[in-house]
Chains A and B, each alone.
Chain A
């Protein structure tokens, strides 16, 4: 089974621009979660989508948004980029069926975003 894929792997943007990151989950998985990883803040949860609906949301400003398509692929968008948005953005997929947070998550390799 193919793993979680994320594109692009590396991205360089300037302040004020917007960016869209893509995630393809493992086949059959209906839940996709996004995380921001930085040296100072560790791994922080952005949001989770399940069957095209946002099921959980972390504590990030509205500049961060996402969506999920009918084939479970997901995109994350960040508008009006700030220097502090530089991070590794990780996507994870799971079956999402337990609903109780007991599902194992399978992570992609991440997209490294640099904001200049």
Chain B
């Protein structure tokens, strides 16, 4: 069945550092891939998505490229801010979620 594996957290970075959160998946076919973010005390909200191989999703400085050959959808941001501190979830077909990666950005 479908599954998503995310890197363990927490990830602690200083402001303006480069961010990578790894996500790999197992699925049949060509599933849509998502990154959702959960800020403290809130529900999840969509950060970006990609619906086919080689698509790049981007939003608020975050990017992720759908790599079918490596079954990956890694999240990247060139310069993180304190306001990016949250839990990030990689998801497959919108129903299967990774365990979440907590990001803490220090000023």
Contact B95 A33 (CB under 8 A): yes
Contact A100 B32 (CB under 8 A): yes
Contact B95 A101 (CB under 8 A): yes
Contact B45 A107 (CB under 8 A): yes
- Provide the bound-state CA to CA distance between A56 and B41, in Å: 28
- Provide the bound-state CA to CA distance between A104 and B64, in Å: 16
Nearest chain A CB to B40's CB is how many angstroms away? 12
Interface residues of B in 6-60 (CB under 8 A from A): 31-32, 34, 36, 41-46, 49, 51
- Provide the bound-state CA to CA distance between A105 and B32, in Å: 12
Residues of chain A at the chain B interface (Cβ within 8 Å): 4, 33, 35, 42-45, 48, 56, 58, 90, 92, 94, 100-110
Number of A-B residue pairs with CB-CB distance less than 8 Å in the complex they form: 58
Residues of chain B at the chain A interface (Cβ within 8 Å): 31-32, 34, 36, 41-46, 49, 51, 89, 92-100
- Provide the bound-state CA to CA distance between A48 and B96, in Å: 12
- Provide the bound-state CA to CA distance between A33 and B97, in Å: 13
Contact B43 A45 (CB under 8 A): no
Contact A56 B44 (CB under 8 A): no
